[in-house]
Each structure stands twice: as structure tokens, then as C-alpha cells.
Amino acid sequence: MDRRLPLLVILGALALTTTPAFADDLPTQVGQCVQTQISQLGSRLEGDPQSGSEVTYANGGVGVSYELVKPLTRARVGDPVKLCLVSIPQDCPPGDDRGREYSAVDLRTHGKWTLPDAEHMCGGA
């Protein structure tokens, strides 16, 4: 009898139950899409679920809304996401890169949303 078999079975089972985190860098050109995951879900203002929605992606991207984004209510941390850069604001002050807009598709739920990366556009409050 081969004593290695139980160890191989255990290692195989672990390989099937662990999902590695993956995240491409944020897209840099309008129309470019990347694969990432949801790393955090919450409200725009911590502790106030009526303040809107916020999502953070494993690649450092963020989406925020003053409204409750219904597809995000069905999303879960760890869901794989296709994230696409939709727009980049023009004529921003140097160093102020807020206001990029991203569309996302949750590849588990097939929910879709488009959100800016900040509450205000560049040059704003």
C-alpha cells in the first residue's frame, strides 16, 4: 500500500478549495478592460448604509456612488470582475486624477455598474 496516497488526496482537495486572488493593474486607456476581484463592499460613508455604495477592487480601484447601487447588493467580496475604463476627465489640476469612470461586470452574478473612482471630479471639493 502506498502511504503517500492520503497526502496526495489532501493536497488535491486543498487545491480545489482555495481560490487564488487575481488582479490585473487598473486600466490606463479608455476602452481597456482588466480582470480583478471585489476586495471590499460597503456604504459611501462608513456605518451609514443609506449614504450610497462603495466598492474596492483587488487592483486598488474604487467605485463610489451617492445612490445605492442595486447590483452591488448581490455582489460578494471575492467575486471576479471585469473592470473597464470608460472615461478620464480632461484639464485637471496637476496631481488631481480623480473622476475616472469605470464600468464593471460581476462575473458571478452578471450584475453591471458604472461608477466614478471618487465622490468628486478633479478640481472639485
For residue 125, pLDDT over 90 is answered with no
Segment 10-24, tens digit of pLDDT? 434 333 333 445 578
39, 36, 41, 40: which is closest to 52 by C-alpha?
A: 41
Domain count, the chain: 1
C-alpha to C-alpha distances, 72 to 13, 37, 51, nearest whole angstrom? 31, 13, 14
In a domain, 75, yes or no: yes
Q: Are 36 and 47 in contact (CB under 8 A)?
A: no
Burial class of residue 19 (count of CB atoms within 10 Å of its CB; 0-12, 13-18, 19+)? exposed
The answer as to whether 83 is a domain residue is yes
Specify the pLDDT at position 21.
52
Residue 51: domain span:
21-116
Whether residue 9 lies inside any domain: the answer is no
Render pLDDT for 33-60 as a digit per residue (tens, 0 to 9): 999 999 999 988 888 778 899 999 999 9
Question: Is the residue at 33 inside a domain?
Answer: yes
Residue 39, in any domain of the structure? yes
Q: Is residue 14 in some structural domain? A: no
| 112 lies in some domain | yes
Q: Is residue 7 in a domain?
A: no
